[in-house]
Structure 1
Amino acid sequence: MSEPGSHRNPYAPLYLPEFRYFIMGRAIFMMGLRMTVTILGWWMYELTNSKLALGFLGLSEVIPALSLALYAGHYIDLHEKRKVLLTTLSLFTLCVCFYFLLSLPQTQMRWGHWAVASGICAVVALSGAIRAFSGPSFGSLISQIVPRNILPQAASISSASWLIASISGHAMGGFLIAFAGIHNSFGIILGILLTGIFFLRKISPKPIYATKDRRTWQSVKEGLQYVFKTKEIAGAMTLDLFAVLFGGAVALVPVFAKDILKVGPIGFGWLNAATDIGSIIMVTILTIWPMRNRQGKKLFYAASGFGICIILFAISNNFWLSFFALLLSGCMDGVSVIVRSTILQLKVPDELRGRVLSVNSMFINSSNELGQFESGVAAKIMGTVPSVIFGGCMTLGVTILTWFKAPALRKMQY
C-alpha cells in the first residue's frame, strides 16, 4: 500500500484523519442542503404555479451572495477558517428552522400562499449572504489540511464526495416530499445538518497567513488582480460562468416534471439528481485515471457536450431520455469541476486563497442562481422548451468564442 504522502496514490489524502472528518462532515451537510434546495423548488412551484417565481427564488439568493462575495474573501483570509466555517453552517441550520416554521399548515392557512412564498424568498436571501462566506471557507480549508504534493488527489476526492452528497440530497429530497411531506422533511434535514457539523468540529483550528495591515479594498483588489492576471483561472471561470448561466435547465426541472413529463415528486427528485450522478461518474473515472495532458482542450470539448445535452433535454418528451440527457450533461460538467478545482488548488497561494475562492464563488456558484433567474424569465417570455433550447445554443456559442479568445486556457496542461 502506498504511503500517505505518495503523489501517485489517488487515495493518499484519506490517510489523514482531519481530511476524513472534513469529507464526512462536508458530504453530510451538503446532502442536507441539496435536499433543502430540491424541496424548495417543488414547494415554490406548488405554492405559486409560476415559472417566474422559480426565477425569483434564484435571484433572492444571488443578490446577497454577489454583494458580499469580495468582502467575504477578505474576511476569511484574515480570520481562522474553521471558526468562520462552523459559524456559517450554524446559520444555515437556522435558515432550515425558518423553513420548518413556514411549512407549518397553520402558517400557510394564516398567511396565504404568496405570503409564504415571499417568506421563503426572504430566508433564501439570508442563506445567500451566508453562502458568500461558507463556500470559500470550505475551499480554503482543504489546503490547510492536506500537504501540497497530494492536493490534486484531495481536490478530486473533495469534488467526488460533494457530488455524491448532491446526488443523495436531490434524490432523497424527492422521496421525502412523497413520503414525509414538506414540513416533516425539514425536520429530518435539521438532524442531517447537525450531524455534519458534529464531524467538522473535530478539525483543529488553523493558522492565519494573511496580515491585517492592509485596507479592505486593497486586500479585495489583490484577489481580483490575481484572478485576472492568471489567464488559466480567469478563462476557466468565465467559460463555466456562461455555460451554467445559459445552460441552467435544472432550474426548470419542476416545470418539466409536472407539466411536460407528468412525473411526481420521486421522478422530479431523480431528474434533479441526474446531473450530479453524471458528474460523480466522471469525477470517479478521472480520480482513478487522471487526465495526463491537454486538460485545457478537454475542458472546451466538455463544455460543448454540455450545451448539446441541454438541447436534447429540452426537446425530449420521454422521462428516460430526459434523465439520460441530464446525466450526460453531468458527465461533461464533471470534467470542468476537476480541471477548475485542480487549477485553483495548485496555482493560488495560501495568503490569497480566501479572496480568490470568493471570486470563484462569484463566477461559478452565483451563476447557478443567475441561471435560475434567467431560465425563469426566458420561460415566461419564450415558453419553457424554447427557452431551454436557447440556453443550450448560447452555451455552444460562448464555448466557441472562448476557444478563440482564451488561448492560454486552450493550451493549458498540468
Structure 2
Amino acid sequence: MLGSARSACHGAGVTDSLTTPTSPLQIGDYRRYWLARFMGVFATMSMVVLLGYQLYAVARDDYGMSIGEASFQLGLLGLAQFIPLFVLTPVAGLAADRFDRRHVAAFANGIDGLVAVLLAALTYADALNLPVLFALAAAHGAARVFLGPSMSAIAPNIVPPRLLPRAIALSSIAWQTASVAGPAVGGLVFAAIPWAPHALSAVLLGCGMILILTVRPVRAAQDGPKLKPLKQIAQGMIFVWRERFLLGCITLDLFAVLLAGATALLPVFARDILFVGPEGLGLMRAAPAVGAAAVALWLSFRPLQREVGVKMLWAVAAFGALTVVFALSRSFALSLAILSMMGAVDMISVFIRSSLVQLFTPDDKRGRVSAISGLAISASNELGEMQSGLAAGLLGAVGAVVFGGMGAIVVTLVWAWYFPELRRARSFEPQELKREVST
C-alpha cells in the first residue's frame, strides 16, 4: 500500500505549478477530469430519467397497461440495465487495471453517446416501443460498467493521497450538480421538444470523451508479476472477500439502497400520486442531488476527519427513515424537501465510503475493487428498481417505498453489529485506518 501511495504521489506531482498543490483544482489534469465527469453525468442522468418516463408512458398509453403493470415494467427496466453490469463487471475492472484508464472511459462515453443518438432519432420519429427501450437500457448498462471503474481509479493517480478526500468531494459536486441540472433541464426541454434532450446528451458525451483523453496517460501501478487475466479477476474478488472492512463498506451500500431506492417509482409518484408530470419528475430526480451537492460543497472545504465509520452508519439509517417519510407525503413541496434531505445524508455516506475504499485499496487493484464496488452500487440501483417494481405490484407504490425504507434501517443495524470494523474506522489517514480496522 505504501509503495502504491508513493507511486500515486509521484504521478500526481506533475502539475501546472512548481509549488505543491493545496487543492485538487490546482492540478490541470484534475480540472479536465472534473469537467468530463460533469458533462457525462449531466448527459446520462437526463437520458436515463427520460428513458424511464418514456417507458412508463409507452406502457400506459400504447400498451394500455394499468399503473401496477406499468410500474412492473419500470422494475424490468432496472433489470435490463443490471444484467450487462453483472456479466461485464469483472472484465471492466480488469480493463481499468491493465489498460490506459482514459481510453477505457472514453470508449464507455462513446457507447453511451450512441445510445443517446438512437434515443433522439427514435423519439423524433415516434418509433419507440418497449423492446427498443429495454435494448437501449441494456446498452447503457454495458457502457456504465466500463465507465465507473476507470473514472474512479483515475482520480487517485492524478492527485496526491493527502488531497484524495477533497478530490472525491469535488468530484461528487460534479456528479451531484450535474444530477440536478441534467434531469431538470431534460424534463423541461422534453416537455417542449421531446427528442432535443437526448441530442444534447449525445453532444455532451462526445465533449466529455475528448476532455478525458486530454488527461495525461494513466495506467495502474504494477507491484508484482503480471498474472493471466482470469487470475487477475479472481485476485480482485478474493482481495475484497478477505478484507472484511472493504466487504462491509461495499455490501452496506448494496443492501441498504437495494431496499430503500425509491428512484424507479418516481414516474409513478410524478404521474399518478403527486400529479406533476414530466416537469415535476425532473425536479424530483434533481432534488436529492441538490442536497447532495450542498453537502459535497461543504465537505470539499471541511472534510470529515474523525469517527467516519459511525457517521457513515448513521447516514445510511437516516436515508432509510427519510425514505419512509417521502412515501407518505402527498405534498409536492414536502416531497422535494424530503428528497433533498435524502440526497444530503446519502452524500455523507457515499463520501465516507468512497474515500475509505480508495485509501484502503492498493493502486494495482483499484480498478478491480472499483468495479466490484460499482457492481454493488449498480445492483442496489438497478436491482433495487426491479425490487421496487415487484413490490409496487404487490403492495402499491407507497407500500413498496415504506417497506424499503424500513428495510434499510434494519440492514444498517445488522451491519453495525456484524462488521465492527466499520464502527472502528475513525480517520482517512491510510496508516491509521489500517491499524484501526484491524484492532
**How far did residue 4 of structure 1 move?**
6.1
After superposition, the C-alpha distances for 1:336-360 in whole angstroms (9 at most, x for unaligned) are 1110111122111111111110110
Matches within 5 A, 1:224-243: 224-243=237-256
After superposition, the C-alpha distances for 1:45-71 in whole angstroms (9 at most, x for unaligned) are 111020011111110010110111012
Equivalence for 1:283 = 296
Matches within 5 A, 1:135-150: 135-150=148-163
Q: CA RMSD of the aligned region, Å?
A: 1.7
Equivalence for 2:40 = 29
Equivalence for 1:20 = 31
Equivalence for 2:3 = none
Equivalence for 2:79 = 59
Letter in 2 for 1:78: R
Could you tell me which runs of 5 or more consecutive residues in structure 2 were left unpaired when the two chains were aligned: 1-16, 61-69, 428-439
**How far did residue 38 of structure 1 move?**
1.3
Q: Partners of 1:308 and 1:147 in 2: how far apart?
A: 37
After superposition, the C-alpha distances for 1:102-153 in whole angstroms (9 at most, x for unaligned) are 2133525xxxxxxx12111111112212221111010111122112232221
1:101 aligns with 2:114: no
Q: Partners of 2:335 and 2:249 in 1: how far apart?
A: 28
After superposition, the C-alpha distances for 1:40-94 in whole angstroms (9 at most, x for unaligned) are 1111111102001111111001011011101221122111111111111111111
**How far did residue 189 of structure 1 move?**
1.9
Could you tell me which runs of 5 or more consecutive residues in structure 1 were left unpaired when the two chains were aligned: 109-115
Matches within 5 A, 1:2-401: 5=20, 9=22, 12-49=23-60, 50-108=70-128, 116-181=129-194, 183-210=195-222, 213-401=226-414
**TM-score normalized with structure 1 length:** 0.93
Equivalence for 1:112 = none
Q: Indicate the larger mover: 394-403 or 277-286.
A: 277-286
**Compared CA separation, residues 168 and 106, structure 1 to 2 (3 A):** closer
- Secondary structure at the aligned position of 2:127 is classed as helix
Equivalence for 2:436 = none
**Compared CA separation, residues 92 and 404, structure 1 to 2 (3 A):** same
Q: Partners of 1:213 and 1:290 in 2: how far apart?
A: 37
**How far did residue 18 of structure 1 move?**
0.8
Q: Indicate the larger mover: 215-224 or 395-404.
A: 215-224
Are 2:92 and 2:145, in contact at CA under 8 Å, matched by a contact in 1? yes
**How far did residue 316 of structure 1 move?**
0.7
Are 1:155 and 1:345, in contact at CA under 8 Å, matched by a contact in 2? no
**How far did residue 409 of structure 1 move?**
0.4
Aligned residues: 401
- Secondary structure at the aligned position of 1:300 is classed as helix
Q: Partners of 2:87 and 2:138 in 1: how far apart?
A: 11
Q: Partners of 1:61 and 1:138 in 2: how far apart?
A: 19
Letter in 2 for 1:250: T
Q: Partners of 2:203 and 2:87 in 1: how far apart?
A: 31
Are 1:85 and 1:137, in contact at CA under 8 Å, matched by a contact in 2? yes
Q: Partners of 2:19 and 2:406 in 1: how far apart?
A: 45
Q: Partners of 1:298 and 1:242 in 2: how far apart?
A: 18
Q: Partners of 1:363 and 1:4 in 2: how far apart?
A: 39
Letter in 2 for 1:407: P
Are 1:233 and 1:340, in contact at CA under 8 Å, matched by a contact in 2? no
Letter in 2 for 1:365: S
**How far did residue 208 of structure 1 move?**
4.3
After superposition, the C-alpha distances for 1:4-23 in whole angstroms (9 at most, x for unaligned) are 635xx4xx110011110000
- Secondary structure at the aligned position of 1:103 is classed as helix
Are 1:300 and 1:399, in contact at CA under 8 Å, matched by a contact in 2? yes
Q: Partners of 1:121 and 1:4 in 2: how far apart?
A: 51
**How far did residue 3 of structure 1 move?**
9.2
Are 2:76 and 2:386, in contact at CA under 8 Å, matched by a contact in 1? yes
Are 1:178 and 1:265, in contact at CA under 8 Å, matched by a contact in 2? yes
Letter in 2 for 1:386: G
Letter in 1 for 2:424: K
Q: Partners of 1:271 and 1:126 in 2: how far apart?
A: 25
Percent of matched pairs sharing the same residue? 33
Q: Partners of 1:270 and 1:375 in 2: how far apart?
A: 20
- Secondary structure at the aligned position of 1:107 is classed as coil
After superposition, the C-alpha distances for 1:314-343 in whole angstroms (9 at most, x for unaligned) are 011110111111111111101111101111
Letter in 2 for 1:64: P
Q: Partners of 1:237 and 1:4 in 2: how far apart?
A: 36
Are 1:55 and 1:372, in contact at CA under 8 Å, matched by a contact in 2? yes
